[in-house]
Structure 1
Amino acid sequence: MARPNLFHDTREHILATGEALVQSRGFTAAGLTELLNAANVPKGSFYHYFKSKEDYGVALLIRYFDQYDAAMGEKLTAPGRPARERLLSYFEGWVENACAPETHGGCLVVKLAGEVCDLSEPMRETLTGGMAHIVARLAEVVEQGQADGSISCPTSPQAFADALYAMWLGAALRAKVERCPDSLNAAMEDTRARLTFLQ
């Protein structure tokens, strides 16, 4: 019988515990001692997996983007559905996630973007790369919409996807500040109008 990968399991446990803390408290406020107590691991275990708290933050973001990409793929690659419907389903997921109390507002990118960009260049670069990948995936769906006739894009697919993502990030940040989903609902209406207009 194969032995479990303890490195992966413990590392994943620390990351999962930390994500919940960071979502509720923020990266700076979530202290290392609090994280270790919540994860029930000794300090030496943390430094076995991560060189520093900054290194931990980078790993936290990479993990988040990997999981997000998998979930995003389920929405955007649903077979048999026009690209327009897949895009709308993806953005509807933003509203649902932001309104779920157990997710603390849902998006780790929204939570950390303003907080860590001036504090950590490696974390800023990880955020930049992750967001660029999301926009690229959205642009692919816009291109598919051009091909299946459900979307007629007046700009390049990349520019259109970038504008949509920027709008949704802003709406999510405002929803977090106001503790109200109105800005996300407005973004949904605007997205529907844009895609309807483009047909």
Structure 2
Amino acid sequence: MAAPTDTRQHILDTAQLIMARRGWAAVGINEVLSAAGVPKGSFYHWFSSKDAFGEAMLRSYFTDYLAEMDDLLARPGVSAADRLMSYWRHWQATQSVEECQGRCLAVKLGAEVADLSESMRLALGEGTTGIIERIRRTIQEGITDGSLTVDGDPQQTAQTLYALWLGASIMAKIHRSRAPMDNALTATTHILHLA
């Protein structure tokens, strides 16, 4: 039998996969619990409401995402520019239009839930702020190691790059095309003044 914290995390992990494909409003709690093989009573043991559940799901997602990002950006002996470009290529590969596989909750749920749930909006805000901070830090490291340059402030550049990639991800979904992601990668190399 799974430990109680494993059951909670199992519900969150199952929901991430479903929500990444179908969105927040289209998925009911019963569908998540059925897919997770968990009785409804377990849900209310761990979560007081669907909003509380959504907030917990987003926080879990960003915890994992930021840890993966930290691993990707912390490779020793690799220039900051190369580490940052690896992150964007990883984004391109894992956020493709073919199958998100639970990797695109910020893209999938950002616009949908920002007006529906304040707690979920705040969780999205904190998570995306963490992503932007890691991008900013790596840009600063690139300026220091001489592997990249930017025309403006590293913070503004990080915000611009993240917004560019979020927009490209949405456009890729709308047009069912990788072209917006390819264009974002090209624009990123220009913004960072990479050869």
Question: Which category of TM-score, normalised to the shorter sequence, fits these structures?
Answer: over 0.9
Is 1:7 equivalent to 2:25 in the alignment? no
C-alpha deviation, 1:194, in angstroms: 2.2
Q: Structure 2 matches for 1:117-196, cutoff 5 A?
A: 117-196=114-193
User: Structure 2 length as normaliser, TM-score?
Assistant: 0.94
The higher relative CO (CA closer than 8 Å, separation ≥ 6) is in: 2
Which secondary structure state, in structure 2, belongs to the residue aligned with residue 150 of structure 1?
A: coil
1:28-85 alpha-carbon deviations (Å, 9 max, x no partner) = 1111111111111111100001111110100110011011011111221111111111
Whether 1:97 and 2:94 are equivalent positions in the alignment is yes
Tell me if the contact between 2:18 and 2:102 (Cα under 8 Å) persists in the aligned partners: no
Aligned: 1:57 with 2:38: no
Q: Percent identity?
A: 42
Q: What are structure 1's unaligned runs of at least 5 residues?
A: none
In 2: Cα distance, 1:5 partner to 1:80 partner: 41
For the 8 Å contact 2:16–2:102, the answer to whether it is kept is no
Q: Is the 8 A contact 1:100 1:106 kept in 2?
A: no
The answer to whether the 8 Å contact 1:98/1:181 transfers is no
Change (3 A) 1:51 1:105: closer
Residue 70 of structure 1 corresponds to 67
Q: Size of the alignment, in residue pairs?
A: 195
Q: Where in structure 2 are the equivalents of 1:100-119 lying within 5 Å?
A: 101-104=98-101, 106-119=103-116
Q: Which runs of 5+ in 2 are unaligned?
A: none
After superposition, give the CA deviation of every residue in 1:64-112 in whole Å (9 maximum; x if it has no partner): 1011011111221111111111111000011101237442583110000
Alpha-carbon RMSD: 1.7
User: What letter is aligned with 2:7?
Assistant: T
Cα distance between partner residues in 2 of 1:100 and 1:7: 35
| Correspondence for 2:30 | 33
Distance in 2, matches of 1:182 and 1:52, equals: 39
Q: Distance in 1 between matches of 2:189 and 2:148?
A: 11
Partner deviation per Cα, 1:97-128 (whole Å, 9 max, x = no partner): 12374425831100001110110011001111
What is the one-letter code of the residue matched to 1:80?
Answer: G
